[in-house]
Amino acid sequence: MEQALALARLGRYTTMPNPRVGCILVKNGRVIGRGWHEIAGEGHAEVVALADAKRTVEGATAYVTLEPCSHFGKTPPCCDLLIESGVAAVVIAMTDPNPDVSGEGVKRLEDAGITVINGVLEESARQLNQGFIKRMETGLPHVRCKMAMSLDGRTSMASGESQWITGSDAREKVQQLRAESCAIVTGIGSILRDDSSLTVRIEQFGKLEPGVNRDSLIARQPLRVVVDSNLRIPLDAKVLSQPGKTIIATSVRSIDKEEELKRRWGVECVFLPDESGRVDLERLLRWLAEMQCNEVLVEAGSTLAGGFLENNLIDEFTLFMAPSLMGCTAKGLFDLPLESLSDRIQLQIKNIYAVGKDWCIEALPAC
């Protein structure tokens, strides 16, 4: 199963909106076939592994990181293909949370006389597909907030200058985080200040591990979302003209500007106001889940990042810390209306590691 999980990870940049799945076929103690799902609409992991098999599959055991699908989508049901292949057993890491499957694949395999073992390395499998699982179970994507800061917790100078706080190795890691995401969310303040493009730049990506399809990675750009309550985005902003799709989440209607954004760049404006006249961030996330976004990366300044945090919408923090000091007038990480120490937000640090000359802190909201 560990080998199957390693194969599944090879699809982490390209399977969206589908889950990442790997499959290993074993017969007489030897691996006879390997496969992983690479791109939505193409072969699932089981199909690829069966095609890769170097000998007859009859009597073999299939190790699959997610319950084989039992419904017709863009491809036929994988459980039917496993039954037809003659495998004797199927070992599964976890049940598929998709209500179209959710135990039906296991039932059909067992009804066909195939031995099924479920729950092997389940936690690792859930971690690999945490965004897909959350979307299926809650109607919300998994949200990671990425921030870069100095040693004294500052993200930009008072003037707004912030490029670059961290080094090239940290920025390389950010490209990987973007590539793993279905959507990248930023605020209009960041666009006006930095004129960011919010693209995955393969030239800054670093060395690809064997098995990752470079062409597929280049072809897929995450959805870019600009939170712009008052629709202030300039028509010549870089984020509008990049490959892939850009969405503006707004709380005001401006028919002329909306039409010009649509005509010139094909950019859609999504009207999601809250009671205060700002963009309703939870509604935005639910809309993104409806667009089949599993994982969302928030790359924003202290105001928008603080809004996500204040509304308990962040699942994971990735904080890059540079060995520098920016002083008391520089801006902090999050704008939060906290008045006493008892109001502080506790985090659980999951991991800390060096990234070049910087440090990366991975943390979760404390339970």
162 and 278 share one domain: yes
The answer, yes or no, to whether residue 187 has pLDDT greater than 80, is: yes
155 and 279 share one domain: yes
pTM beyond cutoff 0.75: yes
Question: Whole-angstrom Cα distance, residue 4 to residue 76?
Answer: 21
Q: How many CA atoms lie within 13 A of 106 on its CB side?
A: 17
24 and 110 share one domain: yes
- Mean pLDDT score, 260-265: 95
* Class of residue 45 by CB neighbours under 10 A (exposed 0-12, middle 13-18, buried 19+): buried
CATH assignment of the domain containing 312:
3.40.430.10
> Is 135 domain-assigned?
no
52 and 159 share one domain: no
CA-based nearest residue to 21, from 54, 69, 60: 69
Query: Distance of CA 163 to CAs 22, 227, 322, 338, 361, Å?
Result: 39, 21, 12, 28, 20
Question: Where is the domain boundary, 73, 96, 128?
Answer: 128
227 and 164 share one domain: yes
At 305, give phi and psi (nearest 5°): -60, -40
Question: Would strands 358-365 and 142-149 be described as parallel, antiparallel, or unpaired?
Answer: unpaired
**% of the chain surpassing 70 pLDDT:** 98
Q: How confident is the model at residue 202 (pLDDT cuts 50, 70, 90)?
A: confident
Range of the domain at 34: 2-128
Task: State the pLDDT at residue 332.
Answer: 83
Question: Whole-angstrom Cα distance, residue 88 to residue 112?
Answer: 10
- Mean pLDDT score, 16-43: 93
Query: Who's near 182: CB < 8 A, 6+ residues apart?
Result: 16, 17, 131, 141, 222, 223, 288, 292, 293, 294, 295, 296
Write down the mean pLDDT value for the chain: 91
User: Higher confidence at residue 249 or residue 213?
Assistant: 249
**Each residue of 87-109: pLDDT tens digit?**
999 999 999 999 888 888 999 99
CATH assignment of the domain containing 97:
3.40.140.10
Q: How many structural domains are present in the chain? A: 2
Residues of the chain by 3-state class (helix, strand, coil), percent to 5: 30, 25, 45
Report, as residue numbers or ranges, the catalytic residues: 46
CA-based nearest residue to 311, from 275, 341, 340, 342: 275
Task: State the pLDDT at residue 74.
Answer: 66
> Is 134 domain-assigned?
no
> Is 133 domain-assigned?
no
The answer, yes or no, to whether residue 308 has pLDDT greater than 80, is: yes
229 and 122 share one domain: no
User: Higher confidence at residue 138 or residue 70?
Assistant: 138
For residue 360, what are the β-bridge partners? 320, 353
DSSP 107-173: HHHHHTT-EEEE-TTHHHHHHHTHHHHHHHHHS--EEEEEEEE-TTSEEE-TT---TTSS-HHHHHH
Task: State the pLDDT at residue 73.
Answer: 66
222 and 349 share one domain: yes
Question: Whole-angstrom Cα distance, residue 68 to residue 109?
Answer: 9
For residue 361, what are its two tokens?
């802190």
For residue 143, what are the β-bridge partners? 296
The answer, yes or no, to whether residue 348 has pLDDT greater than 90, is: yes
Question: Whole-angstrom Cα distance, residue 198 to residue 211?
Answer: 25
For residue 250, what are the β-bridge partners? 271
Question: Whole-angstrom Cα distance, residue 65 to residue 125?
Answer: 6
